[in-house]
Structure 1
Amino acid sequence: MSISDLYASGKHKQEIGHFASVVKIAKIDNVISEGEQKLLDRAAVKLNISTEEYTEILKSPEKFPVNPPVSYDERIERLYRLTKMIFADESVDRDEVIIMRKIAVALQFPTDNVEKVCDEAIHLILNNNELDAFTEAIKKVNLI
């Protein structure tokens, strides 16, 4: 096995873990809305999730660890996708925010600042900010 094969499989594990995190938020109310389903389908394509993996993750997302990327920008992008999933059904549930904060900690955002980061992420998505503006704002709030 070449080093590029190892990198690819490690990267794919990160993608699977991220997709599982998005599924956890979608399933928090035990119903996947049409908006959430569309977002899941798009995320699966973007993250190269196979049909078999999709089915398995949808069934038991808790079986898959988060596996955060090393890149800070990639971690912010994951937070962006998670926050978008919270709003996919056009309502925000308290349990979704709690899960989001736990996932943000798993994405290596500092525990003492995670509430502020997640609150800002929610505010940014509410105001329809795209990824570039989202990334810039989160960096200012997180001050790493």
Structure 2
Amino acid sequence: MSFSSLFESGESARNRSHFASLVSIAQSSGLKDEESTLLSRYKSVLDINDSDYEEIMKDPSKFPVFPPNTSEERIQWLHDLFKIVFADHEMDETEHKLLKKYAVALGFNDEDATYLTERSIEIFTGHLSLEDYRYLLNKNR
């Protein structure tokens, strides 16, 4: 471990951790163009340098999940994971299992992770009830 890495910010480590989770889920069913494009955006947003990017792309499992501190950030990270999964408008069984696994790793208990995963799938696939649709339309008013 280098001397400079001893003083690495927690945010930087969490960003790499989150990016590795995104890469892992994108690679789980074969990396597609839409996912690669989205990963490039996340690389910039999360301030991932080129050497970390290459290392993460080679083996994202080397980077453990360091969950964010707030529930708002946890929801944001879960949302990011769903955006990667649905970038190609498909979700396979492997991705479904990984989403639940990451929800637990982010700090949600099993029951909440299951609920959030299933509810998010309904939202991302457009399978909303009319009541939910109305709620989402009027939420920001």
C-alpha distance after superposition, 1:15-47 (max 9, x if no partner): 000000001110012x21110001100111110
- Match in the other structure for 1:122: 121
- Match in the other structure for 1:22: 22
C-alpha distance after superposition, 1:36-71 (max 9, x if no partner): 001100111110001111110010000001101111
The aligned length equals 123
After the TM superposition, list the runs of 4 or more consecutive aligned residues in structure 1 that deviate by more than 6 angstroms: none
1:43 lines up with 2:42 in the alignment: yes
Question: Which runs of structure 2 are paired with 1:59-98 in the superposition (5 Å)?
Answer: 59-98=58-97
How far apart are 1:123 and its partner, in Å? Answer: 1.9
SS in 2 for 1:109: coil
Tell me if structure 2 keeps the 8 A contact 1:79–1:121.
Answer: no
TM-score (norm 2): 0.81
Give the alignment's Cα RMSD to 1 decimal.
Answer: 1.9
How far apart are 1:9 and its partner, in Å? Answer: 1.2
Unaligned runs of 5+ in 2: 1-5, 127-135, 137-141
Unaligned runs of 5+ in 1: 128-136, 138-144
How far apart are 1:90 and its partner, in Å? Answer: 1.9
Q: Distance in 1 between matches of 2:115 and 2:10?
A: 30
Q: Distance in 1 between matches of 2:72 and 2:22?
A: 18
TM-score (norm 1): 0.80
